[in-house]
Amino acid sequence: MQVAGFEALVTLPRRFYEYRMQRSGLIFHLLLALTSALVFYLIYFIFLHTPTAQPESGGFAQKIFYFHVPSAYAMYLSGVVCFAASAAFLVRPTDARNAWAQAGAECAVLFSLLVLTSGPLWAKKAWGVYWTWDPRLTTLLLSALIYAAIVVVRTFVGDGEPERRFVAAIGVLGTVNLPIIHYSVQKWGGNHPTVITGRGGGLRSVEMREALWLGFATMTLLTIMLLWARARSAWLRSRVDSLEERMLDAGLEL
């Protein structure tokens, strides 16, 4: 009876962990299904229900706006996650905080690439050139390079404690550039339009405003899903590496 009771006590935490993993997986797949449905509906709504903008705003190419602006918002959101997790890691290092900082930097790189790809396509139609050293574009490129540097350091330099602290410091300092991107148009001007506030033409119809808010909702869910998936993967990898090190220290073969 004592042996059976002891075995039940040992297996209880494992069963609870398996239950949590199963529940987490179910929530993730539900989120994945909802996000996928919203992405397809967003594309359908933008191209079939949203009116075409005036020629001076880019005409049909202006529809890129509904992906471009939410992608920039997703980059900000990912950068904030990277900042918060990096700052928390510097205060008290844990594998989970390091994983979220890593996920934030990687997602920031992904969404900044979406912004830097979609923006020039719209700019070519509206401005006649793919790229100009506009203050907002330049500061956005700087942020993309900062987060890319974090990813490169993590990939090729190593994942030891000093390296983690170094990239966490970059993650904290690099976030300072995010508000500069947002207010660069107001402070330094440039060609970049401010469509939402109206100076760049405004959203003249209800369908345009609905498409924009639908884009924000879709990108928010997509960001949450990607951050969650990448942070979970990075955390599990760190746990596996820690277990391998303990086994090697104990003289056990893998």
Tens of pLDDT, residue by residue, the chain (254 residues): 444 544 444 454 555 455 556 666 778 788 888 888 999 999 999 888 888 776 555 667 778 888 888 999 999 999 999 999 999 999 999 999 999 999 999 999 999 999 999 888 877 777 777 777 878 888 888 989 999 999 999 888 877 888 889 999 999 988 888 888 877 666 665 556 565 555 545 567 788 888 889 999 999 999 999 999 999 888 888 777 777 666 666 665 55
pLDDT score recorded for residue 40? 92
Assess contact for 81 and 104: CB atoms under 8 A.
yes
Assess contact for 132 and 122: CB atoms under 8 A.
no
pLDDT score recorded for residue 161? 83
pLDDT score recorded for residue 237? 82
pTM of the model: 0.80
